[in-house]
Structure 1
Amino acid sequence: MSADLPSHVEIRPQPLVCDVASVDATDLLSAYADGALTPVEALADLHRRIEADNKGQGAVLRFASGWQTAAEESAARWKSGQARPLEGLPFGVKDIIDVDGTLTTAGSWFTGDRIAQTDADVVARLRQAGAIPFAMLATTEFACGSPHNPRFGTVGNPFDPSRWTGGSSTGSGAVLAARLMPFALGTDTGGSIRVPSCWCGTTGLKPSRELVSRKGVAPLSWTLDHVGPMTRSARDIARVLPFMAASPDVDLIAGCMALLAEADLTGLRIGVPVNWFTEMVDATVLDNWRAALEVLQSLGCTVKPLPVLPVETFHRDGWTVLLSELAAHQSERLPRAELFDRGLLARLNQGITILAADYGRALQRRKAAQDMFLDAMTDIDLLVTPGLGGEAGALDTLTVEVDGHAVPFQEIISRNTMIFDHTGFPALMLPSSLGRSGLPTGIQIVGRPGADALCLKAGIAFQQATSHHLNAPAQRTS
């Protein structure tokens, strides 16, 4: 990747009072407010790190148009006392989300050199709050391909380059883990915010359905797609989420801002699964999940087992919907199938064979799936499940190790996540410790529709009591 600095601009390295790579989004904004750093200095430093990086390599595809000018404007606003809530906060953008004047490709040869003519709604809202779209980040093709993208290559996990970051927000997970950016946008259709958050040891929220607008985002499945924030802490999500919402939500803003001051969990009721979410899960992942539950109990939560839930049928329904809607979007391109990623092509061929009646029945059963979880949550506030069944999967075999057995990606990656895309419930993924190979594992906190702030409340309190989210990849040399 080459830099996009104008030829007449020279940025000379300057010693910084604040190490940009070591701070999260909240602390970066505090550094601006304290005068320890300016947005111009921060973004220039991150730019240099990205150009020289050997951990998040391949995650950043290109820099967004106009980031230098935006940084200068933000610095002027801080100096004049006119800073907006997210003034000067750089963020990465998954390459299916439009950024005005910037090449946006959806990771596909089919899109050519498409320059977005306007910002996606979520990007525009973040700009209004002062945040700066900084770089376009790698994705699998149309958010549905294999790890080995035919146009831009493969993104390795910063903790171990032989492992995957998890799809399809693959670049977003990698830049956060590599400490190259404090905040990124991802999308989630079967788990694509939460999977890379789990495998990269970061924190990501799949919001309640339609909380964040999908306008200006390349569609995969119009009934499952969600847009959401990916950061290094739940605290950071609480800071940025209100300014991403599709419409101004006073209660959401107030609720999230309150969480930044206090996240008391006394009396919170947590439900834990006894089937499906705990099956096909490595013993170390389960141990870390149980340890996380003990932490939550020590913070004042009560824990109650859920009834046995028949999740499998609804999980399969989610895939029926995704593949059918993928086919509706992409089947017209089949005459040029040689341009497709092989993983996407396999899914597309599956999708075109699904009967309309099967698709319709899957949609009909969605209400039953939602009711199943709402009934199970009658006397509890949140669900807490293990994240993915194992540590980051191997890129050479496309398998995940579960108790010594190599399990194909497709059996693990969406198993604990798809159901909450299908039902539209908010779900927060955050680190729970390290697994047997020394790679991150995760837990998932799930709420009723609209309870995004409550999920974040539990996540913030958990991270205040633990340090798993502070684990970073070891420094490597070229």
Structure 2
Amino acid sequence: MTDALPAGGDLAALSLTEAAAAVAAGEATATDLVRACLARIDAHDGAVNALIRLDRDEALQAAAAADQARAAGAPLGPLHGVPLAQKDMYYRAGRVSSCGSAIRREFAPAVTATVIGRLDAAGSIDLGTLNMAEFAFNPTGHNHHRGDCHNPWDLARCTGGSSSGSGAGVAARFFYGALGSDTGGSIRLPATMCGVTGIKPTQTRVSRFGVMPLSFTCDNVGPLARTARDCARLLGVIAGHDPKDPTSAREPVPDYEAALDGDLRGQRVAVVDWFLEGAEPAILHVFERALQVLRDRGAEVHRLDAPVLDAVATYGGVISRVEAATIHAEWMRGRVAEYAPHFVGRLYPGYAIPAHAYVEALSRRGPVLREFVAQAMGHADLVAVPTLRAHVPTLAETDLETDFAAHWDRHMALTANTRPFNYLGLPAASIPIGFDDNGVPVGLTLAARPFAEARVLRAADAYQRDTDWHRRMPTAVA
């Protein structure tokens, strides 16, 4: 047997790449993996509420077919026999995709998302669909229609959103990986709060065909999984140009896993003061400890300022609000009562932003990106920031429907360190680096120049070679 199989025999504790290796080596079957995941779901999802649809029979049938294919000597894809589950906004033809809403509770698309098709072709097994914030417009994990998703480290706390079920389900070992979407932090926030790894690729790196939109120019598709290597495997499967999405980049897709050599010698990491403003001491302590791990791996760490970030924060908010308001305009006119109250409260300001402000935010995007790269990356390969500046709040502390005014500031502060990378379009990954004073995970974000996902993943993997935070099991679902 290989070292991949856990000593205790719990196959659900494997990472995604370990699970794929176990199936390929004949040390576990796809059916074994699916049954291990189903056992975890049956035991704990009643408390976590990560899944809104579980395709139990279909998954077991797919696993049996995968096992038969391996036994027959068929070529195996990079995800052969690995159970995944996807956010309820990735379309599969004929299957309901409610997008976390009441308005689309019976919507069954006629198309399948390109990324879903690519995961299928790689041999993965689809367990079902995952809870999410309504129409992906919430950074906390609340859902008025489906019930809130709960953090598997502390059930009273936020999971992060909008990819709440993706982050919580990967952390709880319900499946080995999941797709999220990221318009202002919706991959990196759940990754941080739930103690897993997630990457928002460069804008346009991954096709968005067949994926519910929120913001035409800020939406991103990317994976959440246990490790940086897992995310490299998933990103390698889904990245690349798609003729069905004319906005998808034609940039060649490198071998992300081949880049994971653990060597950070000569890599320059910038710490930008703007991202540390107002950060809690406990967060800064864990952050500084993580930087030392990177130094020990050979990276050079230095601090600098980037004044352009004030403009980034403003422009990013303008674009995402106006575009979300535009996408929902028809339903807001005729079906507003079917939205959650907090959704309407957040969306309405988008209709008050003047056109010239939106056009200015769009037209300044290129110059601001060039200015940020010059300021922060002129002498650096990576930027490192704490994903959150504060501890993970409770669901009660961020529930806009109990007291919108009282909870608004804490709610919006969650995206302070994530949203800038959406406006800039840069690749950014969050990895777990420890715990706050409440025993809830803390995350480190690593970002780089456009299409430098391999560099981000290499640094994340190097960190995980010397730490075991990504291996820790959530205490509330142990």
TM-score, normalised by the number of residues in structure 1: 0.90
Paired residue for 2:66, among 65, 70, 74? 74
How far off its partner does 1:197 sit? 0.5
Alpha-carbon separation, structure 1, partners of 2:476 and 2:424: 40
Instruction: Work out the CA distance in 2 between the residues paired with 1:102 and 1:17.
Output: 37
User: How far apart are the structure 2 equivalents of 1:406 and 1:152?
Assistant: 21
Which letter maps to 2:11?
A: V
Match of 2:323 among 311, 322, 325: 325
What stretches of structure 2 of length at least 5 have no aligned partner?
1-6, 243-249, 400-405
Where in structure 2 are the equivalents of 1:244-393 lying within 5 Å?
244-247=238-241, 252-254=253-255, 256-260=256-260, 262-274=261-273, 276-334=274-332, 335-376=334-375, 377-393=377-393
- Give the corresponding residue for 2:52: 61
1:22 aligns with 2:10: no
Maintained 8 Å contact 1:331/1:348: no
Quick one: which amino acid aligns to residue 281 of structure 2? A
- How far apart, in 2, do the equivalents of 1:346 and 1:182 lie? 35
Q: Bigger shift: 223-232 or 38-47?
A: 38-47
What amino acid is the match of 1:268?
A: Q
Q: Percent identity?
A: 34
2:201 and 2:428 in contact (8 A); partners too: yes
Which amino acid in 1 is paired with 2:348?
N
Aligned-residue offset at 1:406: 8.8
Two-structure CA RMSD over aligned residues (Å): 2.2
Offset of 1:17 from its aligned partner? 8.9
CA distance in 2, matches of 1:258, 1:251: 15
State the number of aligned residues: 455
2:411 alignment partner AA: Q
Structure-1 separation of matches of 2:227 and 2:46: 20
Contact 1:107 1:138 in 2 (8 A): yes
Counterpart position of 2:43? 52
Letter in 2 for 1:87: H
Task: State the partner residue of 1:3.
Answer: none
SS of 1:344's equivalent?
Answer: helix
- Higher alpha-carbon deviation: 347-356 or 48-57: 48-57
Residue correspondence of structure 1 range 192-211 to structure 2 within 5 A = 192-211=186-205
- Contact 1:264 / 1:461 at 8 angstroms: preserved in 2? yes
Task: Give the match's secondary structure for 1:36.
Answer: coil
Q: For structure 1, which segment, 63-72 or 153-162, has the greater mean C-alpha deviation from structure 2 after superposition?
A: 63-72
Encode CA deviations 1:74-94: one digit per residue, 9 max, x unaligned: 112222232122111111111
**Offset, 1:40:** 1.6
Superimposed CA distance per residue, residues 199-234 of structure 1 (whole angstroms, 9 cap, x where no aligned partner)? 111100000111110000110001000000000110
Alpha-carbon distance in 1 for matches of 2:447, 2:357: 28
| AA aligned opposite 1:446 | A
Contact 1:39–1:74 (CA under 8 A) maintained in structure 2? yes
Question: Which amino acid in structure 1 is aligned with residue 264 of structure 2?
Answer: L
Of 22-31 and 299-308, more deviation after overlay is shown by 299-308
Decide whether the 8 Å contact of 2:203 with 2:427 is kept in 1. yes
Q: Structure 1 residues 431-440 or 361-370, which shifts more? A: 361-370
Q: Aligned residue for 1:103? A: 96
Q: Deviations over 1:214-264 (max 9, x none)?
A: 00011000100000000011011112211101339896343x13135x221
For 1:32 and 1:246, locate their aligned partners in 2 and report how far apart those are by CA, in whole Å.
26
Alignment deviations for residues 323-372 of structure 1 (CA, whole Å, 9 cap, x no partner): 10111111211232221112211122111111111111111121132012
Counterpart contact for 2:447–2:456, Cα < 8 Å: yes
C-alpha displacement at 1:68, in angstroms?
A: 3.0
CA distance 1:472–1:159, change in 2 (3 Å): same
Partner in structure 2 of residue 152 of structure 1: 146
1:187 paired to 2:187:
no
- CA shift for structure 1 position 150: 2.2
Question: Structure 1 stretches of 5 or more lacking a match?
Answer: 1-15, 400-404
Quote the Cα distance in structure 1 between the aligned partners of 2:383 and 2:370: 15
Partner of 2:445: 444
Shift in CA distance, 220/229, structure 1 to aligned 2, threshold 3 Å? same
Shift of 1:475: 4.9
8 Å contact from structure 1 (residues 209, 424) kept in 2? yes
- Given that 1:188 and 1:206 are in contact with CA atoms closer than 8 Å, whether structure 2 keeps it comes out as yes
SS of corresponding position for 1:397: helix
Deviations 1:268-312 (A, max 9, x none): 1111112x2001211111111111111111111111222343312
Aligned to 2:246: none
Cα distance in 2 for residues equivalent to 1:19 and 1:471:
14
